[in-house]
Amino acid sequence: MVAGWILFRSDSFTHAASYFRALVSLKGWMVFDRGELALIVSAQGWLAIVVGVLAATPLLRWLSSRVLVKQADDGWSARPAGAVVVMSLLLLSAMKLASGSFNPFIYYRF
């Protein structure tokens, strides 16, 4: 499914085919050192990696049971602190998306 985006971003099928060939070949493959890796991955990228690794651990389940929800007599309900956390994350995400760079409509080529 992700490979389908290559078809949308390529100028021609020849360009897409060469991109697919480059993805599966090991020609020109090299290991990055720290200096080059710092040029490739931004601070926001590192933050996303750390959040993704933490979300893949049981820490997320523990945190949600302690902060976000509590078990009531008739089921689950949100804690006030949990509602504040979720709304803050929603607001921060919306602010980040609104302040992002221009992202053109991907279907303009078709």
pLDDT (tens digit per residue) in 62-87? 877 777 676 666 666 777 877 788 88
- What phi, psi does 12 have (nearest 5°)? -150, 170
Q: How far is it, in rounded angstroms, from Cα 72 to Cα 78?
A: 10
Coil, helix or strand at residue 40? helix
| CA 82 vs CA 53, 74, 92: distances in Å | 21, 19, 15
pTM over 0.75: no
